Amino acid sequence: MAYEGEILNACGVINIDFSNAYIVAVSGDGPNVCGHLLIYSPKGGGYYFHVTGDPAGKGLGRLRGYPMYMNDAGYRRYLTDTGKTELRRKPVDLPNPSDALLYVEKLLSEEWTWAVLPHNCVSFVEAVIDAGGGSWGSYSNCPALATADTVSQRINAFYRWMESGVYGVYGVSR
């Protein structure tokens, strides 16, 4: 069985600090073309949080399980064991990081029913962000699409690339 993280059995076991947080999209496995979404807090040791259902469950029993966490080494193992790759990592602003902490601890203590698109890894991450007062939300419950750059971001990146090319051609320092 591939490593998918640890179940948190008590509060205060790990130092969670959401004052600096990221959403992390990874590739899917098997028929999952949408990928998977986690929320990451680099402070306090660096921890990833996500929901997958019950990795040890069979059949429909796999759809209900506790959300999990993993440290940086566990995340690298998770990617290796599952054959996934990181697609994107984007910062999210959480004005109330302590509220996000309390909410993620609450979520980690309750079983989660996985319902593919309506109640999945994206809705788990959105709930933590919402609890922390953040405004990131997905227009799609498909992580590969939900974390993709907007058209505006792509246009701005193109303009920056063009501008740096023009400066380079004329030897102008920035």
Bridge-partner residues for 64, per DSSP?
113
pLDDT tens track for 19-60: 999 999 998 877 777 788 999 999 888 999 999 877 777 777
Tell me what pLDDT residue 158 has: 62
pLDDT tens track for 123-147: 899 999 999 999 887 767 667 666 6
* Predicted model pTM: 0.81
Please write down the long-range contacts of 16-20, taking CB distance under 8 Å and 24 or more positions apart.
16/41, 16/44, 16/47, 16/101, 16/104, 16/105, 17/41, 17/43, 17/44, 17/97, 17/101, 18/94, 18/97, 18/98, 18/100, 18/101, 18/104, 18/128, 18/132, 19/43, 19/94, 19/97, 20/91
pLDDT tens track for 6-16: 998 887 788 88
